[in-house]
Structure 1
Amino acid sequence: MGVFVFLPLVLPLTAWPIARLAEQHLHPRAAIWLLSAVAGVFAVCSTLCLGLLMVVGTAQLPGNPLPDGWSDPEVREAVPYDEVAGKAAIPALFAVLAACTRLVWRHQRVRRRAERALAGLPATPVAVLPDEVPYAYALPGRRDRVVVSTGMLAGLDSAERRALFAHERTHLARRHHRFLLTVQLAAWANPFLRPLRTAVTYTAERWADEEAAQAVGSRRTVARAIGKSALMSRGAPVATLAGFAATGPVPRRVAALLRPAPAGRIWPPAFTTVGLAAWGAAVGTTASALSSANSAVTLFLILHAATPM
């Protein structure tokens, strides 16, 4: 295997061109599914690779409970610089696990805090908080709710308010918080995947923008609502939840809404320039993911074969 054992750690470098291509040429629904899946696969493979490297490089350290067979010469031959790679993998793996655990804990804490803030309000689909600070966000949970402040509502007219509510309801109905959490975890598992996190954040907003435009029947109204909200908003107070103007590059979202709506087909036809590029990216990404998974699985099988029965 040689240096190919490190492929799961470096293949996520392809994330940037994949993210750019998906943002520019795919329907937001297709882009968010593709990018989230790619981020999840790459993150799992790179984390598994770190764990296997740690096992190979440290199995014979004094006091290590791992089987000595996992560090036999034939196993070590599969990993160049096994001692260095194994020892370096220890802090890297613990850093990944700690960061991901902290992110999940913070995500749950923020949601609980947001739910406590709504405890005294009626259990309606929309919760209006008496707050002069303008913000709006989608709060998923046992009872999905749209949370909006009086400051935000005061700055929008009736059509713009409908656009806001349609946008936030899309976040809840399409479970965008799950996509966002997936790519956030992936970005902590491997920093090379951060472009995918940024791209998914943007495409989630674009997806909600497009469905809001369909709901209110006016793309210009949604664009105006986004622009006004961004100008008067300081951002949603809940950092891990989807907000109307808190996430995604607002000028790009407005510009996209001032253009014609994306084609109803969520994936471009194969025999077009855009289609060939999109399919090429999908096939290339799948091949990269399979290659990284194959490297990790092959190393695991070598370890398993070296374990005395």
Structure 2
Amino acid sequence: MKHGRGFFALSLLLVSAVAAPQAAAAETCQYRAQDLPVPEGARWARTQATSDDNKLILGAVIVNDRWRGVVWRDGELTQLAAPDQGTGHVSVKDINNSGVVVGGLEIADVSGEITTHAFRYRNGTYELLPVESVEGSSAHWVNDAGDVVGEVWDESGRRTEVWPADGPRTTLGLGEPVGISRDRKVVVQDRGSWPVTGSVIDLRTGLTTRLTGITGQLWAVDNDRLLLPGKGHTIDERDLAGNLIATYADGMVAYGKNNTGTLLGRTGYNENVLWQQGVRQLLDADKQLDRFYHGDVTDDGVLIGTYSDADWTSHPARWLRTCS
């Protein structure tokens, strides 16, 4: 039997199709949340802060109707000791690479009036930070040297206060503390100013650098970088001299940035976003980070944050990228 050329070509095509190996299925990757353990009976657990090296996660939980602090190291839970004084809430704010925690401790006097006192917690002990006669105080940030920055307040308003690891405390005046760097530079945002203005005060030299051209609230100081809203729907990264380093398009709020070029943030529509080497992508995850809680990204690309269920139950977690 004779076959035409078309039949011969079709036969070869069919043979090739049978002989060719099947194409490998495309790999799919997604971030999956791993819940961090919480104390038995705890409610409203959440992430509060991370150390600069992201190895320690500071959390806040309600235990026996009181806010208390917890720390996770490599996913292992440690509870802060109960304070020797004060029967009120312990408000934890920040943690450094050595595990020093700072915040505010509620203490009731003999008349039952409650006052908040700034504290530094280390080696299982709460140390009340000294203040003059004020209505209250709270520590907000601590660097790896142990320098603490926070606020004191009275009838004249709120003032930024610094408690160095060694040496006398320093009052920086009015303004809202935003963070303190490794090399003892304090970032302060002016209260009630628009456009937003602020300053960077070098505690070593006393030099003050004014921050201008800021279009929104200062959101984060991470790896000695300022992360804040830019013009339009962008996130600006600036150094501590106020110089623009990078702009991330189609974003609104930054959670944190690691040392390998990944920024974790969200858009104005409350969508979680990753910028990796400047390339933007929506976060593909089984659970999304809740915008009301602290978030960050480690140098290994692990995400840190809190997600919420439909009933608003909160879950502190780490997100690992898994592929199948």
**Which TM-score bucket, shorter chain as reference?**
under 0.3
Q: Flag the structure with more relative contact order, 1 or 2, with Cα contacts below 8 A and sequence separation at least 6.
A: 1
Larger Rg: 2
Q: If each structure's helix is expressed as a fraction of its own residues, which one has the higher value?
A: 1
Could you state the TM-score of these two structures normalised by the residue count of structure 2? 0.26
Could you state the TM-score of these two structures normalised by the residue count of structure 1? 0.27
